[in-house]
Structure formats: structure tokens, C-alpha cells
Amino acid sequence: MQPRRVVVTGLGALTPLGNSVAEFWHGLANGVSGADYIRQFDASKFKTRFACELKNFDPTNYLDKKEARKMDPFTQTAVIAADQAIQDANINKDKIDVDRAGVIWGTGVGGMINFSHELREFHTGDGTPRFSPFLITRLILDIAAGYISIRHGFRGPNFSVVSACASATNAIIEAMYSIRYGKTDLVVTGGSENVINEPCVGGFNAMKALSERNDDPKTASRPFDLDRDGFVMGEGAGALVLESLDHALARGAKIYAELAGGGATADAHHITAPHPEGLGAMNVMRQALADSGLQANDIDYINVHGTSTPLGDIAEVKAIQKVFGEHAYDLNISSTKSMTGHLLGAAGAIESIAAIMSIINGLVPPTINHFTDDPQLDPKLNFTFNTAQKREVRAALSNTFGFGGHNASVIFKKFVP
């Protein structure tokens, strides 16, 4: 069959910058930092004592209290963001074929918060095994997709994708293929991650991945800055409703953008460090371009992985220059992780939303917290430092790379009927 065009008809977001897409975009456009000292546990003895947490967020404002207690936070945020996206898309399940509506979700870690809580409770007791009957269903990584499916009665493909920090982007790509090749008409996709707790902060500290700029959390995430010292953890969820173009038009849906293509590769190099020449990143961007049918000079903006790590930022820029050549100097490049922190398995979802909103609004969000140029980076590249820039964005590419050498890229373009 002829591959079908895939469009975005609904968006939902819970982020450190706000608990809706509108609040999220307002924060990005105005260069707001979501970082602050950790409130979810006593981090005073940790090497890193700050993160980009959700703010003014109470799941019981969105979910029945009894229902919310059955879920780990990563499932709560997934369900709420998906609810937002489905409502935004104006989907009436009685007017669609629910057997052709699916949920494909991404997470990197899953129910770590409840798992660590249960273990702590067990070890501080008398040794008698006492565990919640909801421990397993709070823990398993597929459960967010399951809850969304059950809540909305979608009976099409339902599964989760796990590829560390590339998880949500890989989920979006799988959803795109499902629609493009006729398996589904509509898929709710994206990712969620809520793991700002002792084991995750301590674990990332132990591997020297996190910034330790405890005296100035707001400016700790510094992608491409000479003094960057690691990433800042973030939490939340992003959801997209994807549909085939014919399905969206038939029900009169509004269309935000077209999902033109995607790619997935591996570095096959190291469990945490990127390939020093950006080989996997280069290959995945080329794959995404080929899959989309676009040329390098059709891209106006790249929302980079840009985590603020010494090695990762340089490898990604090398890859961009190899793929885009002279056109690299005409691109806007920015890392929204400078504002949101790194949402791990959910990063690709909220960053895809950022790319879509840049197309809609003709505005590229900035890379904030830039103070000192890194001599290893080409000064002629436009990293959109510190202030958002107005420009027409015909097409935007979003990169996400994960521990294990996973690379995923997606390209969104302005919808043209």
C-alpha cells in the first residue's frame, strides 16, 4: 500500500516549566530555568542537591485519589499528559474505530520511585515480607501504556519502548510506522519519567553524569558552555496524538504539524560515552532525512540532545556539521534541556513538542545559561544562546541519544494540505 502521511493533532505536557503545553511553551520562549533545590527527598548529603522538578503538581487534581494511589508517578504523569493530548485532539472514542487506535509509550526507568520506597519499607521492618499488591503494576515499564489504553478504550497496538533517553523518540517513530503502513489510524504516543529520588540521583552522581553546581542551580544546565559539568535531572511527561492524514481530515481535526520521518541507530561504542566523532548521531540524522524525503537544507531548526556534558555536546555538534555541511551555518540549534533539565526517557516527547511549537509560532527557543564560548565548538554556528529567535521554521529535527549507544531522530514539518 501507499505509505500514509502522519500528522500531529493533539499535544499534552507536564514539565518543570509548567503543567500544560501553553505553560511549557511560555517558559521555553522566555528562557526560564526549571531548576531548583530538590524537594522530594533530603538531598543535603548528595553531591547534587538540585533538579528540575514538577511544580504545583498534585496528581489528585487530575485523577481520582484511589486511582492515583495505584500508580507510580511515571504512570500518573503519563495518563495526565495523554488525557490532555486526547482532549486537545477532540477525540470522541464513540466516533472512531477503537480497534485501530493504539498507545505506544516510552520510559527509560519506569516505576523506580515506588520500587525504592517498597524496598526501604521492607528493610526497616522486621524482615517479614510485606509488599503492596500494586508493587508490580506500579513498577513495570509497560504499565503507563496499559493505563492509557484502558482509560480510553483503545484496543489497537499497546506497548512500551525502552531505549534509555531515546525511549520517547523511539516510541514516536514506532507510532509513525504503525500509522504510515496501515496498522492503525490513530496512536497516542510520547513518554514519561519521574525518578528524582535517592537511588537515581545517587547513581548518576556515582557515574559523574550530573552537574554539581549546587551554589547556582538555575544556571547549572549549560549546554555548549565551556564550564558545563554534567546534566540536570528533570521529570514529567509529553504526549502526542498522531493520526493518518485522511483520518484526521475525515473527522475535521486541527493539525499542528506533519511527522515527516525518523531514524534509529546505535553507536556500538560505549555504554555511556558517545562516539567521539558522533558517528551514530550522524547516521541517525541522515536516516531521518532520508525517511522524510527532505534534504538537509530543508531543515531550519535542530532541537539537539545537548545535555550539558563535556563529551556529548561536542560529539553531537561534530555530527551536525558532517550531515549539514555549509547549511549548518544557516540552522538554528538549541538545547531546551538548558531550561527543562534532562527528562531521560520522556525527553524526546517534550522536545518533539518544542520542535512542533517552534514551527507553529515561528520562534526558536533558546539555549540559556551561556557564559563562556567553548573553543572546541565552531563560533559561526547559531546555538540560539540566551534569547529566543524569530524565524520561519519549515521543518525541525529533534535528536535524543541514550546510554547504551541508542540514537533516535524525528523530523516535523509545517503541514501543507
Q: Which residue numbers are catalytic?
A: 165
Sole residue written with cell 517534550: 350
Alpha carbons 213 and 232: distance in angstroms, whole number: 10
Retrieve residue 320's grid coordinates. Answer: 551536525
Helix, strand, coil shares of the chain, percent, nearest 5, are: 40, 20, 40
Instruction: State the number of CA atoms in the 13 A half-sphere of 293 facing the CB.
Output: 6
Residues 6+ apart with CB under 8 A from 69: 134
Contacts of 405 (CB under 8 A, 6+ apart): 266, 267, 268, 269, 270, 271, 274, 275, 280
Neighbours of 223 (CB within 10 A): 27
Q: What are phi and psi of 400, to 5 degrees?
A: -140, 135
Largest pairwise CA distance in the chain: 66
Alpha helices in 235-309 (DSSP H): 245-250, 279-292
Q: Which three cell numbers stand for residue 410?
A: 524525528
Query: What's at 199, amino acid-wise?
Result: P
Q: How far is CA 95 from CA 6, 11, 62, 90, 183, in A?
A: 20, 20, 25, 11, 18
Comparing CA positions, the residue from 362, 147, 142, 407 lying closest to residue 263 is 407
